[in-house]
Amino acid sequence: LRALTGIVSQETVLFHDTVRNNIAYGAGEKYTQAQIEAAAKAANAHSFIVELPRGYDTMLGERGTRLSGGQRQRLAIARALLSDPPILILDEATSALDTESERLVQEAVDRLLQGRTVFVIAHRLSTVTHADQIIVLDRGEIVERGTHAELLAKRGAYSRLYTLQFGGGNGEAGGAAASTPSRMVPSAG
């Protein structure tokens, strides 16, 4: 199961190694430079990588402290894209980012969602509005389940969270996740 699953979490794990090796982490010599660069481009990371002093051969400090939060997230997404797992877990992948970084990461996440089963754990509902199924948890209990429209119509926990974040409106939010088969799990508290 572990080999079939990829994880992109809020706290990105990066090592004191090159950008290339951080993207290809766990794969050894399995991937070519062209594959690594293709994953970085899909993750909106290539442009900042090539601006680093040694590009893909730049050494990252422990935990990638020389990079911004958005850059670290995009490297984690590139790693997930490269390994191409059929099951993906996104655990608050955009929660600690500024608006521009969130936009770039969300674009990369949208590409990452294509053709796989995805579990998204999110407090920002903009990341789950286009999910096939949203499961709302409150204190570890499932309190609601349905599509974005169904949950808004129920006027329950999801609707209250949505109104808090977006002020009501027509039920549309920007930065939505892709509409591939997936399970989205926002937390109500």
Across residues 112-141, what is the average pLDDT? 86
Query: What is the rounded distance in angstroms from the CA atom of residue 77 to the CA atom of residue 12?
Result: 10
pLDDT for residue 145 = 96
> In the prediction, which pLDDT does 186 show?
52
Q: What is the pLDDT of residue 95?
A: 67
Give me the pLDDT at residue 19, please. 96
Is residue 64 scored above 90 in pLDDT? no
Predicted pLDDT of residue 169: 52
Among 26-30, 70-74, 115-119, 173-177, whose mean pLDDT is lowest? 173-177
Q: Looking at residue 139, what is its pLDDT?
A: 92
Q: Which segments of the chain does DSSP mark as H helices, in order?
A: 19-23, 33-42, 46-50, 69-83, 99-113, 148-154, 157-166
What is the model's pTM? 0.74
Q: Is the dihedral of CA 129, 135, 138, 143 positive or negative?
A: positive
Mean pLDDT, range 145-164, rounded to an integer? 94
Q: Which residues pair with 136 in a beta bridge?
A: 144
Statement: residue 182 has pLDDT above 60: no
Residue 129 CA to its chain's centroid (Å): 14
Residue 183 pLDDT greater than 70, yes or no: no
pLDDT at 172: 43
Residue carrying structure tokens 């004191």: 16
Report which of residues 144 and 174 the model is more confident about. Answer: 144
Amino acid at 74: R
Domain coordinates of the chain in residue numbers?
2-131
Chosen CATH of 2-131 out of 3.10.20.30, 3.40.50.300, 3.20.20.150, 3.40.50.360: 3.40.50.300
What is the rounded average pLDDT for all residues in the chain?
82
